[in-house]
Structure 1
């Protein structure tokens, strides 16, 4: 049985009618009115969100936002725990700890400096337009989150082959040389042990 579906089922059974109504209201911009009116319980709502790819076991930010909006911190912490456990049990095609640390540092610099050119960078990294459009739809007014989610998508897609050197190469390929220099400086600091 899928652990994510089990988690959603437990969320569904713990929602009150008022909370379900609030969730339906919050989903108005994402789900059509007719579909929302037919929703009788949390499970049905989660299925629609799942089908529209607004939530998945590796894509929980929208769900987390919904749960925070209805003040269900208990469910938010269960969701975070699920994500942590899933990451801890991730397969061996993941990056080693050192490379992951370098990547996180590179992501930080890129998120602080790239801004509106993020789609050009993602195209260089091989992320499809469809994936970028989905990310924009999920985070319509948050440029930084769009970039973060795109980088995570690239990281997930590449697995062990997601190398910081590829990020730097892509930045230079987009003429974002200043950002590439900053990434290299940050990595140099990390590698020499100073911060």
Structure 2
């Protein structure tokens, strides 16, 4: 099954009738009145997404219109899921990914960082080159979950760097922020072997 269609299906089942009405209203400039009237409340989100797909307003590699719609109806949770879908490389070319060994090392390093970096995570992200806007979005999507903020920001960095994402960069950034204990723990975990 197409992962993008599965995602849209899960979105459609979580939309309330009011949210669906808002989405229909927001699509007025893009979709004809008759087509919009055919979208019924009660699971009609799927119909609306089908029309958007047909008219090529959205696709698995073209999600900005959908993101704008979801932001307009204040569904940050769905925006966050959409961004995660894009970040996890459903859209990205596989040749822009780190090799399997580096991926495994990164996963282990990210686990250690998430367990040990607390409220100072933004300082680390700045060192890694993540913008304030990206960090604000991550905080808005996960307002009360510090660990999830760290995870999402590291995923954003990894996605941005693609195949250039290296554990050595994470360690260097940690040391640059005087988070030597965390850097030591990352190195220790990598040296004890991650299989």
- The number of residue pairs the alignment matches comes to 156
Find the counterpart in structure 2 of residue 21 from structure 1. 16
Aligned to 1:76: none
TM-score, normalisation: structure 1: 0.65
Q: Provide structure 2 residue ranges, at least 5 long, that are not aligned to the other structure.
A: 27-40, 50-64
Report matched runs for 1:40-55 at 5 Å.
40=41, 41-42=44-45, 47=66, 48-49=69-70, 54-55=79-80
Show the counterpart of 1:122.
125
1:69 — aligned with what? none
Alpha-carbon displacement from aligned partner over 1:65-111 (angstroms, at most 9, x marks no partner): xxxxxxxxxxxxxxxxx998938x84211111111111111001100
Moved more, 151-160 or 48-57: 48-57
- Aligned residues of 1:99 and 1:163 also touching (Cα < 8 A): yes
Equivalent residue runs for 1:91-102 within 5 Å: 91-102=94-105
Instruction: Report 1:22-171 matches (<5 A).
Output: 24=19, 35=22, 40=41, 41-42=44-45, 47=66, 48-49=69-70, 54-55=79-80, 57-60=82-85, 86=90, 90-171=93-174
Unaligned runs of 5+ in 1: 25-33, 61-81
Q: C-alpha root-mean-square deviation of aligned residues, in Å? A: 3.8
C-alpha contact (below 8 Å) 1:49/1:55 kept by paired residues: no
How far the C-alpha of 1:121 sits from its partner, in A, is 0.1
- For residues 37 and 131 of structure 1, do their structure 2 counterparts lie closer, same or farther at Cα, with a shift above 3 Å needed? same
Scaled by the length of structure 2, the TM-score of the pair is: 0.65
